[in-house]
Amino acid sequence: MITGSIEELSVLSLIVRLLLATLFGAIIGLERGARGQSAGIRTFALVCVGAASCAIVNLFLFYTTGSADTARIPSTVITGVGFLGVGTIVAGRTSVRGLTTAATMWSTAALGLLIGSGFLVGSIVCFLTIVFIVVVLNRVSLFQENIASRLSLYLELDRETGVEEFLSYMNEHGYSVSVLEKKNNASIHSKDIGLYVTCNIFKHKSHTNLINDIFTLSSVHYVEEIKG
C-alpha cells in the first residue's frame, strides 16, 4: 500500500513527511496570520518542519544503531537551541520581532542533527524545505498580512479634532472600529494624543493603502501598523 511505503524511512517518505509538515504548518500559520498574530505562515511551517526533522533524526539513529539512547543528545540540542532562540524575540511598542528568526534557528538545529547523524539525503531535503519556507513563503506571508480583514494601528493625532476626524473617515468608508484605547506614550508632537485602534476591514483593502489614506488626514500626524 502507498501508506506503507510512506511510513517506512526512505527518500520518498522523507520528502512526503517534510512536504506535509510544510503544508500543514503553513495552513495553521495562515489562519493565525489572518487574525493579526505575529507568528504566521513561515513561523508555523518552520516549527513543524523542525519537529518533523527531529523525529526523522531519532528514527534514523535508532535504525542505524539499534539503540534509543542515541536520541538523548539530539533532544538536549533542540532544547538548548530553543532557549537560545528566545533571545532573538523582541517585543516592541507596535510589534513582536524575531519569531521567524527563532523558528529558523530551531529548524536549522534540526538540520544540523540530520547532517551530524549521517542522514545526508535527509539533510539535503530538509535544507531545501527550509529555504523554500524562508524565501518563497515570505512573499505569501507578506501578501496575506497585507489583505487580512483585521488591522491594528497605533496613531498619534490632534487632541482636539483627531479622534472625530478619524472615526468619521472610517465610518464613511464602511470600516468598523472595534477597539479604541488611549495611550499615554510620549508622542512626536506634545499636543497629540496616542491611540491603539483595531479595525475590521470588510472590503479587504490593502493595509498599506489604507494606512496611506489615513495618514493624509490633516489631524493624523503619525500612524503605524501593530503586528502581534
The residue ranges of the chain whose pLDDT is under 70 are 1-8, 28, 31-40, 67-71, 73-74, 81, 84-97, 116-118, 142, 144-148, 184-190, 202-205, 227-228
Do 64 and 136 belong to one domain? yes
Do 130 and 27 belong to one domain? yes
Do 59 and 98 belong to one domain? yes
Do 40 and 115 belong to one domain? yes
Separation CA 99–CA 79 (nearest Å): 16
Do 209 and 185 belong to one domain? yes
Do 26 and 113 belong to one domain? yes
pLDDT given at position 25? 78
Decide which of 94, 121, 147 is a domain's last residue: 147
Do 135 and 66 belong to one domain? yes
Instruction: Give the number of other CB atoms < 10 A from CB of residue 115.
Output: 16
pLDDT given at position 3? 44
pLDDT given at position 1? 38
pLDDT given at position 92? 55
Do 68 and 175 belong to one domain? no
Decide which of 102, 127, 147 is a domain's last residue: 147
pLDDT given at position 2? 41
Do 38 and 52 belong to one domain? yes
Separation CA 61–CA 142 (nearest Å): 38
Q: Determine the structural domain holding residue 130 and report its residue range.
A: 2-147
Separation CA 38–CA 94 (nearest Å): 11
Predicted structure pTM score = 0.53
Do 10 and 115 belong to one domain? yes
pLDDT tens for 107-139 read 877 887 787 666 778 888 888 888 888 778 777
Decide which of 147, 169, 200 is a domain's last residue: 147
pLDDT given at position 108? 79
Angle at 30 between CA 26 and CA 34, to 5 degrees: 170
- Structurally, how many domains does the chain consist of? 2
pLDDT given at position 185? 62
